[in-house]
A and B are shown apart, each in its own frame.
Chain A
């Protein structure tokens, strides 16, 4: 059902060399934006596990990004001397645990009910971040927790530099994205996930445990979002409720949609577009949100497959799709 060539070693090589060498040709500020793009790519990819693969439209995905960000920030703040590794693992775990607990309720539903429940849980966690001022410092947020952590990475000039942050983020995000890609496109588990989206009833009759598969996918998705949030907290050296608010939840919908949901790497394109085009257009006009909104509407109406769908207009670069659009 999902014809696929093995992940070509050449393609892997190109990516690794490209990503590894990029900082040497980029200015420091471009390295900075690049790091942000990688973090948002990971977040958008995690979102697409739910939307593209399971067909579940979530409006509360920033909850897990925020859990990861706050968990890592609080760990670094209150446990001085904790190495970055455990702090990031803690953030990822916080996202995943949140995913199991909340997913347990949400994945029983589908369509608008699922969307509404994720929205409700997302707002609940936002309210906690906003109101629990003793811990989260409320609306004001907190920063400067990174000075307690050692950021010196082997082979980088200075501790905490934009370059070492870039390599830290890439070293974690790229393998994780690749592993998720492999899981979704190369394994029976991925096939089951796609079959559930295409025809849930048939998957049940075939004997698959639909609830467990959905919950596992939801948890993986939340864990990846937690990792993205954790990296974002370290990258910005600052957290505030904007890492857990509805804005971020809708931003990721936008990124994923614009990039394309039918292709695993579509959301990566969406994240690139969102950051660079967003900055570009907001420098031109204060009505940039209108422009972004119009692009979103246009994409949903006319190019529902996103940028990847645009690629189909050129036959020679037509990407093969991860999954057919509708069930047979």
Chain B
């Protein structure tokens, strides 16, 4: 017993020491600015995380190719969050303490974003979010080390609602997933309808379980309610199955979506989505000079890969990284407090136009792209995809500081 017990202890100790070996950074020449890209790279959502990090990687290559951050290159580390908050925290800690990472970029999953924010606050590193959209991340749960360059749920809903602002639609039906996010989206849609479509009517409001296989009962209800349009925040299989089945049931009214500018989803959904609307902080069709050049640079390099065009995930991550680099240049440091001082209130000419990092809640204020799905083949893909993009001005989607729930905005 004694020997076996001692053996176990010995193994535990050796494993603990050997388990996560890393060396503190040593400065050579211009010391690199160390950035960790942490997103889901395994399991069913790995495709999303991979595409986001492709965008980050491309941006970092361009930044380093043009002299880095005031002469300092960015050293990029990439790792898998496994979509688990505890794993993401552990990996973040390892890169912060062992590799000297000063900036962490991510994350798919609000729970992962929240967990990493706690670590960032403790170790004083900057967190840059290109993905998770829950309002409270820059609202009541905001940690001042966190900057978000994605939309919030409220901004995203406002942008999709804006697609119907100048149209005659009056009766709206809300169909969303039955969990925290789905309920937040429905609430956000109602609020933006109040603002943008005074006198609107609620034709019905329904929540379905995550990963629903059969939307027939929900679609029957929609048909019975006879709305002018349906608003949803569905993503993943709940998005593609809903749209395809609605098409089969002959639902003719347009849908307002949040995640339909994704070629992976559109390849599968196809014609059923024609006439639907969607919105995003970046879309391929955004017609600005910097975006046209960006798309061309990307296409030249990646035209023979799985991602011949820098679609919304790649574009969002690229744009986020570029704005961050501009803030780092202005701060001329990777010290968290210096970056916060430099970035707060900073304006940036992005792929989609002028963006401003709001000082009180670190939420980017940005124009948002809205587009209708048109039949394929189009400029980018052979299947139906987003057509001409309209930009909703930042002030039309912005949430007033006082309504964010962020104490710093009161």
Contacts and interface: CB of A to CB of B under 8 A. Distances in A.
A326 interface: no
Interface stretch (B3-11, B336-344, B376-384): B3-11
B16 A139 contact: no
Interface stretch (B27-35, B80-88, B155-163, B299-307): B80-88
Interface in A1-49: 4-5, 7-8, 10-11, 14-15, 18, 22, 25-30, 32-34, 36-37
Contacts of B167: none
A311 B4 contact: yes
Interface string A283-325: 1001111000000000000000000100100000111100000
A281 B114 CA distance: 25
Contacts of A213: none
Nearest to A232: B86
Contacts of A201: none
Contacts of B82: 282
A165 B114 CA distance: 20
Interface in B72-103: 79-80, 82, 84-87, 89-91, 93-94, 96-98
B124 interface: no
B1 to A, nearest CB: 5
A272 B16 contact: yes
A10 B2 contact: yes
Contacts of A33: 16, 19-20, 90, 94
Interface in A222-245: 232, 236-238, 240-242
B136 interface: yes
Given A29-B97, A268-B8, A283-B79, A236 B115 contact: yes
B111 A286 contact: no
A113 interface: no
Interface of A: 4-5, 7-8, 10-11, 14-15, 18, 22, 25-30, 32-34, 36-37, 130-131, 133, 137-144, 160, 162, 232, 236-238, 240-242, 247, 263, 265, 268-269, 272-273, 275-276, 279-280, 282-283, 286-289, 308, 311, 317-320
Interface of B: 1-9, 11-13, 15-20, 22, 41-43, 46, 79-80, 82, 84-87, 89-91, 93-94, 96-98, 110-111, 114-115, 117-118, 121-122, 134, 136, 141, 143, 178-181, 183
Across the A-B interface, the 4 shortest Cβ-Cβ residue pairs: A138-B180, A319-B4, A276-B19, A29-B97
14 contacts: A11-B2, A27-B22, A34-B16, A36-B86, A138-B179, A139-B179, A140-B134, A141-B110, A238-B89, A240-B111, A242-B85, A272-B15, A272-B16, A279-B94
